[in-house]
């Protein structure tokens, strides 16, 4: 009987949870305040982790946050290796997750389309 989740998925979930805790409690960079890591994709050989992040304000510029995460990548990787006890800690690559901003844009479009209907 096959397992419900692959090792890759289980490890990805553990890495994401640990990175979120490290960001919240152990980083001191003000650019990373209010940043949440939303998803993580591990390569098949577990050498690279693509980490998706979002900020509290979806319309804010993601460049300073990405720079802060890239500056903290070495620290995060080291702490990750000690916390999870991995032989090879994946390289962390950060990508902005714009799904919150896209969701807000779609919600605004729907609200705008419904306004004329409710007035008549």
Domains and CATH numbers, the chain: 7-119 (3.30.300.20)
18 vs 117 pLDDT, higher one: 18
Q: How confident is the model at residue 21, as a pLDDT?
A: 95
- The reported pTM is 0.79
Q: Which residue in the block uniquely carries the two structure tokens 């004329």?
A: 116
Interatomic CA distance for residues 60 and 54, integer angstroms: 10
Residues 41, 12 contacting (CB under 8 angstroms)? yes
3-state secondary structure of 46: coil
Q: Is the predicted pLDDT of residue 78 greater than 70, yes or no?
A: yes
Interatomic CA distance for residues 111 and 113, integer angstroms: 5
Our CA dihedral for 42, 40, 90, 59, rounded to 10 degrees, sits at 140
Q: Is the predicted pLDDT of residue 117 greater than 70, yes or no?
A: no
Q: Is the predicted pLDDT of residue 86 greater than 60, yes or no?
A: yes
The arithmetic mean of pLDDT across residues 83-106, rounded, is 86
First to last CA, the chain: 59
Dihedral sign, Cα of residue 66, residue 101, residue 54, residue 24: positive
């Amino acid at each position: 009987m096959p397992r419900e989740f692959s090792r890759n998925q289980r490890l990805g979930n553990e890495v994401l949870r640990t990175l979120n805790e490290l960001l919240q409690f152990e980083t001191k960079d003000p650019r990373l305040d209010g940043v949440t890591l939303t998803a993580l994709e591990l390569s098949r050989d577990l050498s690279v982790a693509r980490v998706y992040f979002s900020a509290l304000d979806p319309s804010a510029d993601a460049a300073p946050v990405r720079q802060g995460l890239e500056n903290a990548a070495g620290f995060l990787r080291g702490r990750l290796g000690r916390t999870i006890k991995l032989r090879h800690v994946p390289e962390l690559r950060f990508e902005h997750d714009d799904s919150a901003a896209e969701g807000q844009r779609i919600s605004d479009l729907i609200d705008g389309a419904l306004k004329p209907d409710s007035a008549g």
